[in-house]
C-alpha cells in the first residue's frame, strides 16, 4: 500500500513549474514509491538493471520518444549520458513536469545535472520518515527508545520488519555495492570499521586526525570517506557558528547521522531496553533531533543551515538553525524530567547575543525526552513528540 508523504505537495508544486524534477536521497527512503504515486500517468524505467541501463545509453532518443507525455527515470546516475538528451527534449518541449528523475548518489548526480540541466530542473531531497509522518504510517510513538532504535526507513515500518535484520542487509548492500560505485575503496573491511567509528562519534565534533588514526587510515582518507557518507545521505556535518564567517570555516563541524536506527545497529545495540541504558543514548537523541530539524526543511523543499556553537570555556549549543539574521538555538536532552541544568547553556548563549551588534533575533528551544510542552524563562520546552509543534524555519 502506498502511504502519503509530506514531501508529495512540494514535489507536485515544483513539477508544475519546471520541465524536470530531480529527487535525490538515500536508498530505501521511498523515492521510487513516492514519485510513481505522485505521477501515476508517467511512464517508468529503472536504470539499476544492466539491460535497461544499456538501452538508455545506446538509444536514448528512442527511450524518450516512447514516453512523450512524461517519464520517471529511476537511479538516473547510472546513465548520466541520458541527461544531455533530456536537455534536448525539454528545450524542444518545455512543458512542466515531463521528466522526473531519481538518484541515490548526490555528488555524481548533482555534477551531471549542473552540466546538463541547469535552470531546467528543480532538485529535492527525500530522506527517511520524519516524526510528522509517523501517524500516516500508523507507527506507534509510545516510547522514545523504541522510536530511536527502529529508525525511520519506510520499509521497516510499512512491512513490519525487524529493524536490526533489515539494517544489517541495508548496510551490506551499501558497503559492497554503492561504496565501490561512488569511490574506489579497495579495503571494504576498513571502510566498514570507519563507518562504525563514525557512529560512535555521532553528535561530536569531527577530528579527522583522531578518526583516521583510530581507523588505521590517513587524515586525507578519513576526509574522503566521510565525504562518501555525506554523498550517500547517511550523515551531515554542521559547521561551527561564529559571526565572523572566516572563523566559522576553521572550527570543527559536528557530525550527525540522519537515522538513529542505523546508529544503533552500527553500535551493536540490540534492543530499545539496551539503548535506554547505553552511554551514547544522549548523543543518539541529539542526532535524532538534528535529523528531524533537517527533514523539517528538506521535505518542504528548503535548504537547511544547521550549525553548532561551542566556547573553549562556557556556553555550548547543540544545534543552531540560521535563517538570515534569525537564529534558533536548540539543546537536546534525552532525559524525561526537566532539570535546571538543561537551561544553563541556552541562558549563557542568550546573554552573549545581547552583546553583539547588530544583535540577531534569537529563539531558544529545548527538546527533551519527556511528554510536556511548556515555556520557562523565555525558552520553549518541547517534549520529543512535539518537536514539530513549532516551525524550525
Long-range Cβ contacts of 166-172 (<8 Å, 24+ apart): 167/261, 167/262, 167/265, 168/265, 170/27, 170/28, 170/262, 171/195, 171/262, 171/265, 171/266
> Given the C-alpha cell 561512488, which residue does it identify?
182
Q: pLDDT at position 1, please?
A: 46
> Given the C-alpha cell 520518515, which residue does it identify?
129
Q: At residue 324, does pLDDT exceed 70?
A: yes
Higher-scoring residue by pLDDT: 183, 202: 202
Look over the chain and give the mean of its residue pLDDT values, rounded to a whole number: 92
| Nearest C-alpha neighbor of 43 from the set 80, 68, 22, 60 | 68
Q: pLDDT at position 185, please?
A: 79
State how far the Cα of 199 lies from the Cα of 155, in Å rounded to an integer. 22
Q: pLDDT at position 317, please?
A: 96
Q: What percent of the chain has pLDDT over 90?
A: 79
What value does the mean pLDDT take over residues 227-238?
Answer: 92
What value does the mean pLDDT take over residues 81-85?
Answer: 93
User: Considering the domain 8-125 in this protein, what is its CATH number?
Assistant: 3.40.50.300
pLDDT tens readout for residues 241-295: 987 655 554 589 999 999 999 999 999 999 999 999 999 999 999 999 999 999 9
Cite the residue boundaries of each domain of the chain with CATH code 3.40.50.300: 8-125
Confidence of residue 391 (pLDDT cuts 50, 70, 90): very high
What value does the mean pLDDT take over residues 197-216?
Answer: 97
Q: pLDDT at position 104, please?
A: 81
Confidence of residue 180 (pLDDT cuts 50, 70, 90): confident
Q: pLDDT at position 116, please?
A: 83
Amino acid at each position: 500500500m502506498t502511504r502519503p508523504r509530506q514531501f508529495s505537495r512540494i514535489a507536485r508544486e515544483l513539477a508544475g513549474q519546471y520541465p524536470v524534477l530531480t529527487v535525490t536521497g538515500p536508498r530505501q527512503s521511498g523515492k521510487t514509491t513516492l514519485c510513481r504515486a505522485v505521477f501515476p500517468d508517467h511512464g517508468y524505467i529503472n536504470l539499476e538493471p544492466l539491460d535497461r541501463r544499456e538501452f538508455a545509453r545506446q538509444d536514448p532518443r528512442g527511450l524518450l520518444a516512447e514516453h512523450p507525455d512524461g517519464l520517471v527515470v529511476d537511479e538516473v546516475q547510472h546513465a548520466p549520458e541520458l541527461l544531455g538528451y533530456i536537455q534536448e527534449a525539454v528545450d524542444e518541449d518545455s512543458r512542466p513536469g515531463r521528466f522526473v528523475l531519481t538518484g541515490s548518489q548526490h555528488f555524481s548526480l548533482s555534477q551531471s545535472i549542473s552540466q546538463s540541466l541547469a535552470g531546467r530542473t528543480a532538485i529535492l531531497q527525500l530522506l527517511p520518515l520524519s516524526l510528522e509522518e509517523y501517524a500516516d504510517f500508523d507507527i506507534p510513538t509510545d516510547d522514545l527508545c523504541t522510536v530511536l532504535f527502529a529508525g525511520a526507513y519506510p520499509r521497516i515500518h510499512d512491512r513490519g520488519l525487524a529493524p536490526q535484520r533489515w539494517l544489517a542487509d541495508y548496510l551490506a548492500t551499501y558497503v559492497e555495492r554503492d561504496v565501490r560505485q561512488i569511490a574506489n575503496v579497495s579495503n571494504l573491511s576498513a571502510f566498514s570499521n570507519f563507518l562504525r567509528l563514525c557512529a560512535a562519534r555521532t553528535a561530536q565534533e569531527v577530528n579527522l586526525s583522531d578518526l583516521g588514526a583510530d581507523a588505521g587510515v590517513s587524515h586525507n582518507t578519513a576526509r574522503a570517506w566521510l565525504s562518501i557518507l555525506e554523498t550517500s545521505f547517511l550523515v551531515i556535518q554542521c559547521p561551527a557558528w561564529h559571526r565572523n564567517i572566516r572563523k566559522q570555516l576553521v572550527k570543527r563541524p559536528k557530525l550527525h547521522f540522519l537515522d538513529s536506527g542505523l546508529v544503533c545497529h552500527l553500535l551493536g545495540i540490540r534492543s530499545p531496553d539496551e539503548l535506554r541504558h547505553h552511554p551514547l543514548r544522549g548523543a543518539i537523541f541529539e542526532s535524532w533531533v538534528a535529523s528531524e530539524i533537517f527533514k523539517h526543511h528538506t521535505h518542504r523543499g528548503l535548504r537547511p543551515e544547521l550549525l553548532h556553537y561551542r566556547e573553549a570555556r562556557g556556553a555550548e549549543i547543540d544545534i543552531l538553525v540560521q535563517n538570515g539574521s534569525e537564529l534558533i538555538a536548540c539543546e537536546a536532552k534525552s532525559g524525561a524530567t526537566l532539570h535546571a541544568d538543561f537551561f544553563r547553556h541556552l541562558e549563557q548563549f542568550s546573554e552573549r547575543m545581547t552583546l553583539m551588534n547588530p544583535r540577531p533575533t534569537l529563539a531558544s528551544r529545548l527538546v527533551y525526552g519527556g511528554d510536556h510542552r511548556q515555556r520557562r524563562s523565555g525558552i520553549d520546552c518541547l517534549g520529543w513528540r512535539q518537536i514539530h509543534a513549532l516551525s524550525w524555519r
